[in-house]
Amino acid sequence: MINQGSNIGIPVSKKLLKNLRVVNPCSKPAFLENAFVAISGETIESAGSTMPEGEFDEVHDLAGKVALPGMINAHHHLYSTLAVGMPLPKNNPANFIEKLQEVWWKMDLALDHDSTQACFEAGLLDSLKAGTTTVIDHHCSPSYIEGSLSLLAETGEKMGLNISLAFEITDRNGEEKFEASLNENLEALEKYSGSPHVHPTVGMHASFTLSDESLKKIHDAVSSLDSWGIHIHVSEDRADEQDAADRGYGSVIERLNQFDLLNQNALIIHGLHIKETDVDLIGEHNAMFVHNPSSNANNRVGMTPNLNLDELASGLGTDGMQANMLREGKEGMLIRSSHLPGGAASVDYMRLLFGNNPEIASKLFGRKIGRILPGYQADLAIYDYSPRTPITESTVFGHVFFGLSELPSDVITRGEFRIKDRQLLMLSEKEIKANAVTQAEKLWSHF
């Protein structure tokens, strides 16, 4: 357990950010000109157009820069960070399952401690640089299981991000690795439950790589704990639904429900081919649902219906495709548009990113995350952005998805600058990148 009360008696540092343009999509007000943001310790104390009273240890003049809330990636695979440019299999995978077998399951099996660490460091660096300050990760390194989630938690702590942990439990690597993966999740649950910046979950790969016996084992291992929730890929491809049907279940969601694995803390990822009754079941359990449009497009598995995203207040994740959430939101919108006839309703990706993701992160971490409002964790992505059209409450959408094309110049998490004037503070970006290149070469030599 991380000690949350260690600063009792130590005065909390107070910062004032001034001369900011605060863009707060899906919050009221959605835009503040000439704003002041007062931060006390890790928390936003006030955000408004008048200078707050009181003494401040630091005052930062942001000279008219534009601040967005630090963003949340509601489903990520940091373990795929070193896959950029990776050699592809000689034979082009013909479908989703072949893609898993030929690419991802070979790569994850080749990850050792050092390459996993490089993935975490370089992946979180990428996230931070893109203004993504909370990462809900789904990890898999079957040759390096024990200690991998602690390594991720420690890396997140070192870089100042909020991290949700999960190790993908699966049958595909044999019983010993199944047990070790289950155990890694259980240890993280014990170690980090109640921690302010680390949220442990029970990671499961997908229904089609888990037998009934395995689902029962997972349920029996966690059901007596005070708080737990699964984090699982569901119905990403039709093959997952076919597998559940072949095992005698009405659907993947019905199968998980039969084993009492659905609850309000469950993270249901993808859900492309779920039925109306599955939507109802997810809703009844008040479970969380996460859409990953760029990955779905890349894997050619189809598109989640508009209605399901609306009804389930879906979050937005990248499924390891990228760290930049503004890009994911824009790509999601464009991918959907390309499939819709003129005049048809689409999905509000700004709502997914700045409305639903903060709800998901706040529920998981038990604190307010993802808005520039009093009482929220002080996570901000600040852009040196000179707009060519007026920013007002009603033009926020256009500026978010069509104006802010550069990375933020400054990133604050938990009230501390982590990136200032494009420079990563405290750690060497150059060293992290150089190590990642070395580890990528080593990793790729395995296939």
Q: CA-CA distance, 145 to 177, in Å (whole number)?
A: 8
Closer to Zn ion at the Cβ: 62 or 71? Answer: 71
Amino acid (1-letter code) at residue 173: N
**Nearest distance, CB of residue 366 and Zn ion, angstroms:** 24
- Which of the stretches 23-31, 54-62, 111-119, 316-324 binds Zn ion when contact is defined by CB under 5 A? 316-324
**Nearest distance, CB of residue 267 and Zn ion, angstroms:** 10
Closer to Zn ion at the Cβ: 239 or 424? Answer: 239
- Which of the stretches 61-69, 318-326, 393-401, 404-412 binds Zn ion when contact is defined by CB under 5 A? 318-326
Closer to Zn ion at the Cβ: 265 or 377? Answer: 265
- Which of the stretches 49-57, 128-136, 312-320, 414-422 binds Zn ion when contact is defined by CB under 5 A? 312-320
**Nearest distance, CB of residue 269 and Zn ion, angstroms:** 6
CB 153 within 8 A of CB 198: yes
Should residue 319 be labelled a site residue for Zn ion when binding is judged by CB under 5 A?
A: yes
- Which of the stretches 49-57, 126-134, 199-207, 314-322 binds Zn ion when contact is defined by CB under 5 A? 314-322
**Nearest distance, CB of residue 26 and Zn ion, angstroms:** 25
Neighbours of 154 (CB within 10 A): 15
Distance of CA 257 to the CA centre of its chain: 24
Order of strands, sheet of 198-200, starting from the edge strand that comes earlier in the sequence = 71-76, 132-137, 162-165, 198-200
Closer to Zn ion at the Cβ: 237 or 319? Answer: 319
Amino acid (1-letter code) at residue 80: S
Q: CA-CA distance, 392 to 306, in Å (whole number)?
A: 28
**Nearest distance, CB of residue 212 and Zn ion, angstroms:** 23
Residue 125 CB partners (closer than 8 Å, separation 6+) = 159, 424, 427, 429, 432, 433
Closer to Zn ion at the Cβ: 102 or 319? Answer: 319
Neighbours of 8 (CB within 10 A): 7
- Which of the stretches 100-108, 311-319, 399-407, 416-424 binds Zn ion when contact is defined by CB under 5 A? 311-319
**Nearest distance, CB of residue 320 and Zn ion, angstroms:** 6
**Nearest distance, CB of residue 148 and Zn ion, angstroms:** 16
Tokens 């007026």 belong to 390
**Nearest distance, CB of residue 45 and Zn ion, angstroms:** 37
Residues forming beta bridges with residue 21, ordered by sequence position: 66
Instruction: Enter the tokens of residue 71.
Output: 């963003």
Closer to Zn ion at the Cβ: 278 or 319? Answer: 319
By C-alpha distance, which of 285, 288, 336, 281 is closest to 312?
288
**Nearest distance, CB of residue 324 and Zn ion, angstroms:** 17
Q: CA-CA distance, 171 to 184, in Å (whole number)?
A: 15
Alpha-carbon dihedral sign for residues 402, 407, 408, 409: negative
Should residue 240 be labelled a site residue for Zn ion when binding is judged by CB under 5 A?
A: no
Closer to Zn ion at the Cβ: 291 or 336? Answer: 291
Kind and range of the H or E element at 132? strand 132-137
Q: CA-CA distance, 262 to 368, in Å (whole number)?
A: 24
Closer to Zn ion at the Cβ: 60 or 205? Answer: 205
Q: CA-CA distance, 28 to 30, in Å (whole number)?
A: 5
Closer to Zn ion at the Cβ: 25 or 332? Answer: 332
Phi-psi sector, 340: left (phi>0), alpha (psi -120 to 50), beta: beta
By C-alpha distance, which of 254, 211, 263 is closest to 234?
254
**Nearest distance, CB of residue 18 and Zn ion, angstroms:** 41
- Which of the stretches 37-45, 102-110, 319-327, 357-365 binds Zn ion when contact is defined by CB under 5 A? 319-327
CB 202 within 8 A of CB 229: yes
Q: CA-CA distance, 393 to 31, in Å (whole number)?
A: 5
Residues in the chain: 447
**Nearest distance, CB of residue 228 and Zn ion, angstroms:** 20
Of all residues in this chain, which one has the CB nearest to Zn ion in the complex?
319
Closer to Zn ion at the Cβ: 241 or 319? Answer: 319
Should residue 328 be labelled a site residue for Zn ion when binding is judged by CB under 5 A?
A: no
Closer to Zn ion at the Cβ: 319 or 328? Answer: 319
> Binding residues for Zn ion, how many (CB under 5 A)?
1
Give the binding site for Zn ion (CB under 5 A): 319
